[in-house]
Amino acid sequence: MSEVLSVVTLFVPMFVVMWIANAAEARRVREEPYQPLAVTAYFLMAAFYAGTFLMGLLVQVLAFVVRTNPEAIAVATGPLTVASWDLLAAGLWGPALLGLLLLLPAARRAVARFAPLDAANPVHAVALSFTMMVVINLVFTLGIGLENLADLMATARAMQGEDAASTNLIASLWAQQLLTALLAMVGVGWLTRRDWRATLARLGVTPMTAQQWGVGLGIGVGLVPLIILMERLFSLFGWGAQADVARLTEMLIGGLFESPFGILTLGLSAALGEETIFRGALQPRFGLILTSLLFALVHSNYGISFSTLIVFLIGMVFGWMRIRHNTSTAMVAHAVYNMTLGILAYIGVSLVEY
């Protein structure tokens, strides 16, 4: 339950900001005064990034202390092990500074030259600034270190027990993805500018034809041997999966491979949350390449590795499906792809054990 509450706490501020930005956009479209609401949304974003920037500067001071007096920092941080204090600091103050800059009209106009953004739209401004949270999460993860995070998760899993850990994982994953889908809906104007039907239409979550079902199922299954083949080919050149990436991923989602419901969760929850926000909400505004890049970087457990490249390419495929068909088709492909991998892992474990 505590994991679910943590996820909800993380999402609540984002819901508030997106709702305010949409309320401002609704007034702008009606040619009514909207600046106070827009400024409120920008202020909340700026407050978050300012706090993150200051935290990054504090960590930068700690990085200096580490270089001059490692014993002192060991006492201060206790059992926490950090791969790079400098990277951890830069992962906080750097993206926070960029997040602040992206709230400026000039920066938004510059980005709008390369993406279908409306620089005057408060929703687009907030969404663009939000992208820096993906970068913060990624660089923060790299700063702590994938192996160190895996150790922390292994310790927490041992304290909870395997059964409790698997149950908590499934509950927190569903909570995260449901809230992600809901954030996408609120982000495109549900409850402020669009009704339920118009919201789903904007997201591309629409009824599917028989052909689209076939495309989704076929690509979802077909991606699996293609990705396995790519992994084999890249491993010949020493570019295959890394041990720390594999271990952290095992700690994060390995428990899902142990039961049919876990495998269904792996496929259905990701298809619901990730496709709704990336292909549904973001791609029409950020374009195929930038959205696919964000999709890859949000999987911070892969760090910057061969697996990141694979996720980027998969995101490009799902993005093409959004353009060619709709988000619903990409959802089917995503769910089938994840569940096929889960079934293969489940069978593999069973073969080893029995």
Instruction: Name which of 71, 81, 59, 66 is nearest 244 in CA terms.
Output: 81
Cα distance between residue 271 and residue 311, in whole Å: 14
pLDDT of residue 220: 97
Span 259-278, pLDDT tens digits: 888 899 999 999 999 999 99
pLDDT of residue 148: 85
pLDDT of residue 51: 96
Q: Are 13 and 178 in contact (CB under 8 A)?
A: no
The owner of tokens 């696919």 is 292
Query: Of the given ranges (18-22, 239-243, 303-307), which has the lowest mean pLDDT?
Result: 239-243
Span 171-184, pLDDT tens digits: 889 999 999 999 99
Instruction: Name which of 158, 151, 186, 342 is nearest 276 in CA terms.
Output: 186
Q: Is the dihedral of CA 100, 102, 280, 306 positive or negative?
A: negative
Please determine, for residue 22, whether its predicted confidence score (pLDDT) is greater than 70.
Answer: yes
Better pLDDT: 350 or 24: 24
- pTM for this structure? 0.92
User: What is the rounded radius of gyration, in angstroms, for the C-alpha atoms of the chain?
Assistant: 21
Span 209-268, pLDDT tens digits: 999 999 999 999 999 999 888 888 877 776 766 778 878 888 778 778 888 888 999 999
Query: Of the given ranges (1-15, 47-61, 118-132, 312-326), which has the lowest mean pLDDT?
Result: 1-15
